[in-house]
Amino acid sequence: MSYEDHHRIALARELTAAADFPLRDRYGFAASDEAVLFAVNTVFAEPDDAKAADTIGMASAMGDIELAAGYDTPTDEEYERGIVAALRPMIEQRRDAAVRSLS
């Protein structure tokens, strides 16, 4: 993982926790870096918040990533949308910075 990935993961953890949607695994511990990065990359790739939330929820339900709303509590639509809403400002700021650097 790159330095940039580690930075995005740390920021994502802070933003989601501040929004009261902390990224946790099914045991209540912090979600893996890979699961957090999956959520960040999904929000970046999908401009539609509902679709991004659905993608995160489906990946969690299928076991591709391990996210839970709480101890032994699977994610639900509210939790997934909360993650996306918490991450969207970071994603848009990074997208704007990338566009400015190209011009």
pLDDT tier, 16 (very low <50, low <70, confident <90, very high otherwise): very high
Tokens encoding 27: 């045991």
Q: Check whether 72 has a pLDDT greater than 90.
A: no
**Pairing assessment for the beta strands 68-70 and 73-74 based on DSSP bridges:** antiparallel
Cβ(29)–Cβ(39) below 8 Å: no
HEC sequence for 17-50: HHCCCCCECCCCCECCHHHHHHHHHHHHHCCCHH
pTM of the model: 0.89
Residues spanned by the domain of 32? 3-102
Q: Check whether 103 has a pLDDT greater than 80.
A: no
Cβ(65)–Cβ(59) below 8 Å: yes
Domain count, the chain: 1
Instruction: Say what the pLDDT of residue 82 is.
Output: 97
In the predicted model, what is the mean pLDDT of residues 61-66?
94
